[in-house]
Chain A
Amino acid sequence: MLTKRIIPCLDIKDGRTVKGVNFESLRDAGDPVELGKFYADQGADELVFLDITATVEKRKTLRELVSKIARHINIPFTVGGGISSVQDGKALLDNGADKTSVNSAAFKRPELISELAEAFGSQCVVLAIDTKKEADGNWYVYLNGGRLKTDILCEDWARKGVELGAGEILLTSMNNDGTKQGFALDITNRLATTLPVPIIASGGGGTVAHFIDVFKNAHADAALAASIFHFREIEIGALKAELAAAGIDVRR
């Protein structure tokens, strides 16, 4: 059986992981390669590295980091952050990244998705969408790390992204992100059951029950989380054992 995927996300700035990471067993938890390898060894199915370095001169640092990750880590990984051209994507894929993730740049210039898909194939293009449910009950797309609201509905943008060639959707609910109260089941389910590509649910995972929920009730193909893994509130091995016990197919 094709299994549900568990994906830790690492934020990278200037080649280092950001956010305090609490790992006594690691020599250097700020080293993305060491932390990524630790997760891979624990049974993570994939990794996402989001680069939040803004400046152009730091792009070289990212390329070098991607090459180091690819050399040492034996599972697939996605790199996102600041990709706005085929050239940006190529630099990362040539250095060994398996997929690129695009967000605001794709919203501002949707052809970016088709350009990347034509150049590298849809399997290399993950469309990341930050979305928030407003008082009117609708989910809207937000840009620039959630600072800029748009008038476009999440479902509409996701569908257009898939038509343009996105191979997966990484869906982050801003209402849920950081709350540890569970994933956004309604919007995840809506996308997962209407779109032909895998949906990676992100934002709100705090307990094992939340992961069971998002797989069983919202039909997510994968679930992504950051701090609960970084602070060892949930261990990936134990999480997968409990998912399996709940009847969810996972790789163990």
Chain B
Amino acid sequence: MKPFGFLLLLSGWAIVFAAVALLGQPGVRIAFLLAGIGVEVTGLVFVVRSHPLLRGARE
């Protein structure tokens, strides 16, 4: 779960960077930028939720 979360974090950042580097129209760019941030937030949720699971697994 944690590696998948980190993968989503990186993917979200790649979408954000692609939006600012490749898209010129402000509306489309902001839409993609927000989509990238959404992917990052999803990844962060996965990473954060996996932490207590790991702790519980050790006990």
Q: Do A and B associate with each other?
A: no
What residues make up the interface of B, taking CB atoms closer than 8 Å to A? none
